[in-house]
Amino acid sequence: MKLPHFNSKLFLAPMEVVNDPAFRFMCHKYGSAMQFTEMIGINAVVRGNKAVINLARTLNEEKPVAVQLFGTKTELIKKSIQILEHDYPEMIKPDMFDFNFGCSSENIVNQGAGAALLKRPSKIGEIISTMRASTDLPISAKIRLGVNSKLPNYVKIAKIIEENGADMITVHGRYQKQGFGGKVDLNAIKEVKQAVNIPVVGNGDVIDEFSAKKMLNETGCDYIMIGRAALGNPFIFERINYYLKKGFLLKQKKKADLLNEYIYLAKKYEIKPQIIKQQERNFNKKK
């Protein structure tokens, strides 16, 4: 399937209790070419859990936006995609569906989902094939390098994902057991890029203009996914885009101004007060 048009090389990573519609809209405004919802459990969607389904709410102002799913059962993947694509046309208007094979959270892994699926390449193939058969929208997947450095099966899994119909793949250059510790393996992302013919998104440790350029130069990846560096600072996208295009550094916008902008949008889009409070903490953190 044809991917949406991307107006930059930068994507906003899916982040739990961060990627609300107001925050995603700000990231889009400042230069993120694709927004991802936080992970959405297929089991909860099929059960009709309104709070979880609401996590897939999208705005016309933030498009293109991808809905990221996680789980294990293919029959529920099919049902959840049909529900999210067709049952809430006024609230949910996805441009893509993404599947998470990279979450290292103990809670997710203990369910056999997220990065735990990296031990089951054939199951990954089944999931991607099911997604492809369930929607005419583009589909993508996010992976890590494997469960640990003794099982580096990222190239094999990337090829399986491509062969079963995915249109794009994101590679977080760490193993599940690393969590967010240690250094990202840029060469591994490069290996995936050289092994597949679909676009590759590099992910991990892109925290500023220089690390973004290094990711692009050393891996040859098509796009970059930014997560933790965007926490409380959607302006990071404008800074990096400016540097990639012009080679100069752009002055950081004041965090207080960004927070005020977020609060205005959060109220406009009826974001829950507890989410706003968490976002306020993110914006007020010193980096």
Q: What pLDDT digit, counting tens, does each position of 115-161 carry?
A: 999 999 999 999 999 999 999 999 999 999 999 988 899 999 999 99
Range of the domain at 40: 10-284
Q: How many domains does the chain have?
A: 1
The answer to whether position 3 is within a domain reads no
Q: Which residue has 């099982």 as its token pair?
A: 151
Tokens of 277: 């409070």
Tell me the HSE value of 262 on the side-chain side, using a 13 A CA sphere. Answer: 31
Q: Is 27 a catalytic residue?
A: no
Per residue in 208-221, pLDDT (tens digit) is 999 999 999 999 99
**Within-domain flag for 153:** yes
Q: State the pLDDT confidence band at 1, using cuts at 50, 70 and 90.
A: confident
- Token pair in block for residue 153: 């099966």
How far apart, in whole angstroms, are the C-alpha atoms of residue 73 and residue 78? 9
Pairing state between β 65-70 and 34-36: parallel
Q: CA-to-CA distance for 172 and 255, rounded, in angstroms?
A: 28
- Say if residue 233 is exposed, middle or buried (CB neighbours under 10 Å; 0-12, 13-18, 19+): buried
Q: Does residue 235 form part of some domain?
A: yes
Model pLDDT, residue 170: 98
Q: Kindly give, in sequence order, each residue whose CB lies less than 8 Å from that of residue 24, ignoring residues fewer than 6 positions away.
A: 12, 32, 35, 37, 59, 62, 65
Indicate which CATH number applies to the domain containing 20.
3.20.20.70
| pTM of the full structure | 0.96
Q: How many CA atoms lie within 13 A of 273 on its CB side?
A: 0
In whole angstroms, give the CA distance from residue 1 to residue 218. 28
- 247: helix, coil or strand? coil
Please indicate, yes or no, if residue 2 is contained in any of the structural domains: no
Overall average pLDDT of the 1-21 stretch: 95
Q: Model confidence at 287, in pLDDT bands (50, 70, 90)?
A: low
pLDDT of residue 151: 85
Q: Which two tokens stand for residue 249?
A: 């550094």
Joined tokens for residue 32: 């993120």
Write the pLDDT tens digit of every residue in 267-280. Answer: 999 999 999 999 99
User: How far is Cα 4 from Cα 257, in angstroms, rounded to an integer?
Assistant: 31
The answer to the question of residue 240 being in a domain is yes
The pLDDT, as a whole number, for residue 18 is: 95
Q: Taking each helix axis from N to C terminus, what angle separates 255-268 and 21-29, rounded to the nearest 10 degrees?
A: 130
Q: Which of 92, 103, 115, 196 is catalytic?
A: 103
Secondary structure of residue 202 in the 3-state scheme:
strand
pLDDT at 182: 87
Neighbours of 6 (CB within 10 A): 15
Q: Which residue has the tokens 């569906």?
A: 97
What percent of the chain shows pLDDT beyond 70? 100
Asked if residue 4 belongs to a domain, the reply is no
Of 95-99, 142-146, 150-154, 198-202, which range is least confident?
150-154
Q: Is 281 exposed, middle or buried (0-12, 13-18, 19+ CB in 10 A)?
A: exposed
Mean pLDDT over each residue of the chain, to the nearest integer? 96
Q: Assess contact for 245 and 251: CB atoms under 8 A.
A: no
